[in-house]
Amino acid sequence: MNVFKTINLKGFGEKHSGKVRDYYIIDSKRILITTDRISAFDINLGFIPYKGAVLNLLSAFWFNKTKNIIRNHLISIPDPNVTIAKNVKPIPIEMVIRGYITGVTNTSIWGSYEAGERIIYGIKFSESLRKNQKLKKPAITPTTKAEKGHDERLTEKEILKKKIVSAKLWNQMKKASLKLFEYGTKICSKAGIILVDTKYEFGLDEKGKLILIDEVHTPDSSRFWIKKTYLKRFKKREEPDNFDKEFLRLWYADRGYKGDPSTSPSMIPRSSGPRGSGRVAKPPKMPVSLQKAVSRRYIEIYKKITGKKFTKFKYPIEKRIRDNLKSVYAKK
């Protein structure tokens, strides 16, 4: 299957790679190139056609929509898979906002709640909650943005005690995250979508001011459910109709795989990139049918939220990316 795995650019300095994006730093700018790689359970599982373009273009849509709430790093989109952004200092905290209790990963609140915990991320949850139930109010459940290994849970108390950020900055991050989530919920609702949960990442610009970075309200960083079928499926204790990466996670979880070494005798390196380290269980092979199904969902959520048509393109796209970047950086 034709997909975009990675790219090597000449004349742009050192290449850096994360789980999904390759990036280069030039002067005060960061060239972010979103690939079709997909990861879950801290491991790269494979590639999804058109995924990179969906994430990049959908993030651009949200960056433009939310710039009145908080400034962001977006400068331009020279290619469907490329963002030119301000190069800022990232804050090592992922601001995860949850409107519902759900999830299958180790950092989800449902797994802990099901195991009997009621104080999770420093937040007290009421008794008798069911999976996929709406919370009385959105919960902020931050994690570390680890350079190596797993992202770990954080509480507000730990963040302030460890002085990861100042109390003033932490309050700014909380306020911005809740406003972004409220706005995202409103826009998604109009499109017939429930914004279940999401994560935001922030940085500090050259003046030390807070700025929104990374991606916003994408099917990689968020869970999306279909609003009109949610209550019916919830009452039947069925999983909601979803248009995000949870579809992929559930496919693997249904086959007994969650990245835990105990689920498989075969071991492979963790996801490549600065946060990858150690070894995890080898996952089942991703079939082409699953790749196509996830791709359809990613494209569909883009269309539902933006109201725009997604134009499919022909692979390979490396030459297109290089040509579009040359038009911006002609001297390169």
* pLDDT digit string, tens, across residues 72-95: 999 999 999 999 999 999 999 999
Q: What is the pLDDT, as a whole number, of residue 41? A: 81
pLDDT at residue 116 is higher than 50: yes
User: Letter for the amino acid at 156?
Assistant: E
Give yes or no for a contact between 211 and 191, defined as CB atoms under 8 angstroms apart: no
pLDDT at residue 126 is higher than 60: yes
Task: Classify residue 35: in a domain, yes or no.
Answer: yes
Cis bond before residue 316 (omega within 30° of 0): yes
Q: What is the pLDDT, as a whole number, of residue 43? A: 85
Task: Classify residue 243: in a domain, yes or no.
Answer: yes
User: Letter for the amino acid at 75?
Assistant: I
For residue 232, the domain's CATH number is 3.30.470.20
Separation CA 127–CA 117 (nearest Å): 10
Q: What is the pLDDT, as a whole number, of residue 152? A: 86
Residue 205: is it exposed, middle or buried by C-beta count within 10 angstroms (0-12/13-18/19+)? Answer: middle
Of the given ranges (125-134, 137-146, 152-161), which has the lowest mean pLDDT?
Answer: 137-146
pLDDT tens, position by position, 154-185: 999 999 999 999 999 999 999 999 999 999 99
Please provide residue 123's backbone torsions phi and psi, each rounded to the nearest 5 degrees: -110, 135
The rounded percent of the chain whose pLDDT value lies above 90 is 78
> Quick one: CA dihedral 110, 114, 120, 121, positive or negative?
negative
**How many domains does the chain divide into?**
1
Task: Classify residue 1: in a domain, yes or no.
Answer: no
User: Which pair of structure tokens corresponds to residue 93?
Assistant: 């905290």
Q: What is the pLDDT, as a whole number, of residue 150? A: 64
Task: Classify residue 107: in a domain, yes or no.
Answer: yes
Which structural domain range is residue 29 located in?
A: 16-328
Separation CA 221–CA 245 (nearest Å): 8
pLDDT at residue 131 is higher than 80: yes
Residue 204: is it exposed, middle or buried by C-beta count within 10 angstroms (0-12/13-18/19+)? Answer: middle
pLDDT at residue 146 is higher than 80: no
User: Which pair of structure tokens corresponds to residue 229?
Assistant: 């079928």
Task: Classify residue 104: in a domain, yes or no.
Answer: yes
Give yes or no for a contact between 100 and 134, defined as CB atoms under 8 angstroms apart: yes
Task: Classify residue 8: in a domain, yes or no.
Answer: no
Separation CA 85–CA 58 (nearest Å): 15
Separation CA 113–CA 127 (nearest Å): 9
Neighbours of 251 (CB within 10 A): 18
Task: Classify residue 313: in a domain, yes or no.
Answer: yes
Please provide residue 304's backbone torsions phi and psi, each rounded to the nearest 5 degrees: -65, -45
pLDDT tens, position by position, 270-303: 444 434 445 556 888 999 999 999 999 999 999 9
Task: Classify residue 138: in a domain, yes or no.
Answer: yes
pLDDT tens, position by position, 216-247: 999 999 999 999 999 999 999 999 998 888 88
